Each structure stands twice: as C-alpha cells, then as structure tokens.
Amino acid sequence: MQRNSYDTILDRFYHWEEVTPNSVFLRQPTGSDWKEWTFDEAGGEIRKMAQYLKDQGLQKGDRVALISKNCSYWIMADLAILMAGGVSVPLFPNQQAENISFCIDHCQAKIAFTGRIDDPAPLDEGIPAHVKTIGMEFPEGYTDTYKAQVSWQDAMKSSIPLAGKTQVDQDDMASIIYTSGTTGRPKGVVHTYRGFGFAASTGSQYFNMTGDDRFISFLPLSHVAERVMVEYNSIYCGCSISFVQSLDTFAANVKAVAPTLFFAVPRIWKKFQLGILDKMPQQKLDRLLRVPLLSQLIKHKIRSGLGLHKARLIISGAAPIAPSLIEWFDRLGVTIQEGYGQTENIAYGTLNPKDDIEVGSVGKPMPSNQIKIGDDGEILIKNDAVMTGYYLEPDKTAETMEDGYILTGDVGHLGPRGHLYITGRVKEIFKTDKGKYVAPAPIESLISQNDAVEQICVMGTGMVQPVALVVLSEAARKRDRKDISKEFSSMVQKVNQSLDHHEKIEKVLVCKEEWTVETGLMTPTLKVKRNQVEKKYRPMIDNPTVEDSVIFEN
C-alpha cells in the first residue's frame, strides 16, 4: 500500500534557512535582554555541530542522548543530531540516575549532550564513562549547567560547517522517546521522519500557524507534546521560539514574549488560578465581573498579567484538567482548548475546536485521524504519527498495537457530536474489597474543584471504600486545620452525592509535603505515580486507630 510522504524536519529547516535566513528563530533570555539566533545563524552552529559529531565517528542510525532543561541549544543539538544522520534520544533532565543509566544503556547511545540541570549528581552517576558528553553553552547569567567533557564552543572552534543537505528516508528512525514511566521502567518509543512529518505538517496547518506566530517553551522538550507542538511546529511554519530563564523570571519572560500560541499542562493552569486568587479573592473577583465595564478591564488586566493577551491558541494537555478550571478561566476570557495524545502517536490525537468546545471532553479527532472504542471501552487511535514500536521490545509492541491502531490504555467513549470523553486508565481502575471497580479520574476531577486542593490521588485497591489523598494549595496551608477539616468533610458529602455507593469517598488524607519528581511521586511530565503514592501513604490509611474522616499527616 502506498504510504503518504511529508516534508521532513530537516527539509523544513533547510527551507527557512534559504528563504528567510534573517528571520529570528530562537530567543534566549539573559536578564533584561535576549540573545537571538536567526535561521541562518542557527544553521551555521547546527551544521558545525553536525560535522563535529561525524568527526567523532557518529554513523547513520547511531543514537545520541540529549539531557538538559529547555534552551536554544537543546533545539540546535536536536537538529544537529539529525543532520549528522544520528537518532535523537531526549531524556528528562530531572529524573533519577538509574533511569538515565537505563535509557542510555538501552538505546546504546555513544554521545550525550548535556546542559542546564538543577542537580548534576544524577548525570554524574547515570551517564556511563564511555559516553562522550558535549556541554551546551549558555549566555551570561546561567550557572546551573552540567560540566561536560567538551563544550559546545570548543566543538564550534574545531569544526567546519557540514555542507549540503542531509538526505533521509521517510521511514528512517529519527528519534527514540522514552515514556515517563508512571508504572515502571520507561519504554523507548520509536518514531520516524514520516511520523514527525505528518504530525507537524498536519498540525501546523490545522492550527493555521504562520511565521508571525510566537511560541514560548517551558515544558520539557524531552516530552513529545512540547517537542512536536513547539519545536517541530515552529520549524514547519517558520516562527520563533523563546525560552524561560528560570522559575523566578517565568512570569516576566512570558509577558515579554506575549506568545500567540501557548501550551501548558493542568498543573500550570491550577497554579495560575491560585496566583490570581491570592491577589484577588473569589468573592471580590465575582463582584467585579458582574459590572460590565469593570469586567472587561479586569479580564484584560488578568490576561495581560499572565502574558496571554495576544494568545490566539491556548492548549492544555498531557494530563486531565478539571472542567471547573476550564470554565473558571473562560469567565476571564481565557479559552483553554483541551487536547489529548500520547508519546506513542506523537501527541497527535484530539483537540477541542475553539468554536465547538465540549467542556469535559478532550475534543474531536484531528485531521487524518481514526479513533474507535474497543469492546472493553479502550480508546484506539490510528494515523501516520503512530510509532513503529517500542525499541528492542517486540512483545510490548505487540501488546500495544493492533491493525495499525495504538491501544492507548485509556477508557472512554465518543459523544453524540464526535467529542471524545476519557473516563480513566485501564490500569488505574481499581477493585474494592467488595469486588466493585472504581475509576479514580472522574472522582479526582470533582475533588480538584476545591481551591484548597492542589494535588489529588484517589486510591482504594482492596479497601472497603476509596480514599482521597490531597496536597493543599499554598494558601490553604496557612489556614487552620479545623477549618480545612470542616471544609473537606462538607466537600466529601457533596461529592459523594453524585457517586455510586461503591465509589463514595470514606476518608481524606491531607499529605504534609508536595508530590514532586525529586521525591519519586511524580513523573517528569507531572503525572502522579499512583503506585508510589499509594505505597507511601497506605500504612497511614490502614491504621485501625484512625477514625476521623479527614486525616492530617504529621
């Protein structure tokens, strides 16, 4: 069967390098200023690095790891690897040493690009001694970089630009993207130039992207959604990408860029909401929004404060977002379009069209995309972005693919107008001691509507009734425990009214510390590691001496 062909990532970069060489491609903040690279300037560095990699003996198909926070050099390194004929293997920079070591050994990487990272210790321990490390340089003001064997600038000095245009086949392996490992060891998802070409070319056309658009990149580029949504879409449409210098400068950097396209995960939207409510309590906000003239001023002030006053496309993805949060932002004139995809299909799945949003759904299938629901309720997706398989794991590949479809592991249904609804994960659904199955996601969505809740995980395997584990928001942590206990007791009663008997929440455990990547309770993509959270807190829940309906971890 004839398969479709698409411009590759390299094809599109070469195009802009020739047609708009002086257009700004990458922007790195340096305090109050920005260091910029045009397509021509970036191309010069990329070509030199590609030649340097070949001079180090890199052969076609060899794997090269990429471990760093987001920055201009991350993207230039990614393109240099491809231009040299290698396979790019991005790894999350904030994961444990054993995962870094596993991924590098598993894909047999010969070289690793390293850069900004909060804690260099996992890289020191995780990168094998035989792997050559190339350190990405940063403008003045950046100190959190990993000390590599060779610096980017030294490589530039010793190399000449790679001439011509590297030719690749549509079915050549372009990248191995490791899953975030919510339930165990990461799996290496293999994607080709054809898959990336389809996702980025079709996606950028669907989003009506042009060279006048502006992205800001802050979610990990090692995650497939940020990589295709920001890096590759920008390369396909020829627009600029700006970066964030640090957490402290995040708000200022976003305001300075005023992105026209903005992609964030639910955790970011929740923090945005809590930040707004910290400055303007809900009652005051409601009162001001009821006055037409003041309403418009307040909405504009909030959108400008977030840096989203120029954004025409605002997307949330990578994890479920509470419908109440979407509705809350909609009242402020911030229209969030929830989307859905996976590493296995380059995040090319569904999106709520701006003029046809069904809150609670993850939208309609994007163009050239087939979605069906299996007999057991599992969601299956088929398109040209579907992976070729898991690297070196044919058995797991066979378990996940069926007639060209990806078995997503998500359970859901299609609404009457074609919107997809996700009701949970196949592996997250648990059974109580009564033999009844419970899907935690819908219950978590109801509980997360409370402004005092920042993180939530519902558990109940083998229990009489489910239990909710929560982490308080920063504002709620300052409140009296008695007030929180009373509020949560009332909340549980209200939530339970909408649940079947076997789903009703019996207790709430208020956890003392935030769940983070560093503590092993969150994945690098900010998803809760349920098995780890349950393992840590199960003893507190099972304690027979605890009878209160709201428990605080001491």
- Residue 1, pLDDT score: 45
- Residue 436, pLDDT score: 77
- Residue 432, pLDDT score: 83
In the sheet with 550-552, reading across from the earlier edge strand, the strands are 453-459, 467-472, 507-511, 550-552
Per-residue pLDDT band at 239 (split at 50, 70, 90):
very high
Task: List, for residues 347-373, the tens digit of each pLDDT value.
Answer: 999 999 999 999 999 999 999 999 999
- Residue 142, pLDDT score: 53
Tell me whether domains 261-309+312-425 and 430-552 share a fold: no
- Residue 552, pLDDT score: 92
Task: List, for residues 191-232, the tens digit of each pLDDT value.
Answer: 999 999 999 999 999 999 999 999 999 999 999 999 999 999
The mean pLDDT value for 224-252 works out to: 93
Domain boundaries, the chain: 9-241, 261-309+312-425, 430-552
Domain covering 9-241 in this structure, CATH number: 3.40.50.12780
Domain 261-309+312-425: state its class: alpha beta
Task: List, for residues 70-121, the tens digit of each pLDDT value.
Answer: 999 999 999 999 999 999 999 988 888 998 999 999 999 999 999 988 888 8
**DSSP symbol at 553:** -
DSSP 54-82: HHTT--TT-EEEEE-SS-HHHHHHHHHHH
514 close to 454: Cβ distance less than 8 angstroms = yes
Closest CA to 538 of 428, 463, 434: 463
The mean pLDDT value for 318-327 works out to: 89
Task: List, for residues 492-528, the tens digit of each pLDDT value.
Answer: 999 999 888 888 999 999 999 999 888 888 877 777 8
- Residue 545, pLDDT score: 59
Q: How far apart are CA 472 and CA 454, in angstroms?
A: 5
pLDDT above 70 (res 256): yes
**DSSP symbol at 522:** B
Per-residue pLDDT band at 547 (split at 50, 70, 90):
low
- Residue 139, pLDDT score: 55
Q: How far apart are CA 272 and CA 329, in angstroms?
A: 10
The CB density around residue 94, as the number of other CB atoms within 10 Å, is: 17
Domain covering 430-552 in this structure, CATH number: 3.30.300.30
Residues belonging to the chain: 554
**What is the share, in percent, of the chain residues with pLDDT greater than 70?**
96
The CB density around residue 415, as the number of other CB atoms within 10 Å, is: 13
pLDDT above 80 (res 291): yes
The mean pLDDT value for 14-33 works out to: 94
Q: What is the mean pLDDT of the chain?
A: 91
344 close to 390: Cβ distance less than 8 angstroms = no
